[in-house]
Amino acid sequence: MPELPEIEVSRIGIKPYVEGQTVTKLEVRQPKLRWPVPDSIYDIEGQVIRSLKRRAKYLILETNIGYALIHFGMSGSLRILPESSVPGRHDHVDLHLSSGTVIRYNDPRRFGAWLWQAKQGKRLQVLENLGPEPLTDAFTSEYLFVKSRNRCTTIKEFIMNNSIVVGVGNIYASESLFMSKIHPKRQARKLTSEEIEIVVESIKVVLTTAIQQGGTTLKDYTQPNGKLGYFFQELQVYGRTGKPCLVCNNTLESIKIGQRNTVFCSHCQK
């Protein structure tokens, strides 16, 4: 599943191709995604894309009259292609631009989304109750420490909660906790302020590094230019169950936390 670094890499890659361009046509070949693509999204036709932003794992195309929100779901991706390119089986949405470029949305599992928010309309529920972005100044150790008090949940589930902080998915939560040397099953409320500070710093380092390296190569993910991400070469624990820890050589273990597979080192992480 694409996580925050993959979405941010897509935003960075696509931004130069869409900002300032007029949408000449929106072509929806498959409207049945996670939620039905609303008819109102066709209002984007004829509009100039003023900016491309990201909130959590949503890409947001801003126009004068509203916003198109794109979510990749479990297997979605965007590609930058010439208009003459022939769509494939899982190419569900094309955004045609005045430059002659098409931004093509591919989603084999169809669990992503294309939504529309008019500027004069109500705020979309999917953007409500979101925590701060992890790579901004709003995400501090002081903030996370206060939020963690009286939280009996595991620290891994806690940092994966979008109402606490957005975009820390399974891969990067596992990697951040390994870097922090903190066991993923520890209760959030029992971490000290010093440990919370280490967790926050580790999250920022891991996510920043992943973005710089183009994201993590998963079987469904490529960058907008078709290249693979290379952060997989940096993975310390995720996907390495049964292999030796790269720090202490202890065998990495795997457990389920919140229905998600969690790989950790019982020697390094306490």
**104 marked among binding-site residues:** no
- Which residues have CB under 8 Å from 114's CB, separation 6+? 28, 33, 37, 41, 68, 69, 70, 93, 105
Is 260 designated active site?
Answer: yes
Instruction: Write down the pLDDT at residue 219.
Output: 44
Q: Is the pTM higher than 0.85?
A: yes
| List 25, 50, 110, 260, catalytic entry | 260
What does residue 146 show for φ and ψ, rounded to 5 degrees?
A: -60, -45
CATH tag for 141-264 (out of 1.10.150.120, 1.10.620.20, 1.10.3720.10, 1.10.8.50): 1.10.8.50
Instruction: Write down the pLDDT at residue 224.
Output: 62
Percent helix, strand, coil in the chain (nearest 5)? 30, 25, 50
| List 2, 134, 184, 224, catalytic entry | 2
**149 marked among binding-site residues:** no
Is 2 designated active site?
Answer: yes
| List 54, 57, 104, 156, catalytic entry | 57
Query: What type of residue sits at position 238?
Result: Y
Query: Is the domain 4-127 a CATH 3.40.50.10140 member?
Result: no
**151 marked among binding-site residues:** yes
- Let me know the angle formed at the C-alpha of 29 by 219 and 84, rounded to the nearest 5 degrees: 80
Residue 215: its H or E element: none
User: Quick one: angle between helices 4-18 and 193-212, nearest 10?
Assistant: 40
Instruction: Write down the pLDDT at residue 123.
Output: 79
41-81 residue pLDDT tens: 999 999 999 999 999 999 999 999 999 999 999 999 999 99
Instruction: Write down the pLDDT at residue 12.
Output: 92
* Count of residues in the chain: 270
Q: How confident is the model at residue 220 (pLDDT cuts 50, 70, 90)?
A: very low
CB of 255 closer than 8 Å to CB of 183 = no
pLDDT of 139 over the 60 cut: yes
Instruction: Write down the pLDDT at residue 213.
Output: 81
| pLDDT > 70 fraction of the chain, expressed in percent and rounded | 93
Domain edges within the chain = 4-127, 141-264
Is 128 designated active site?
Answer: no
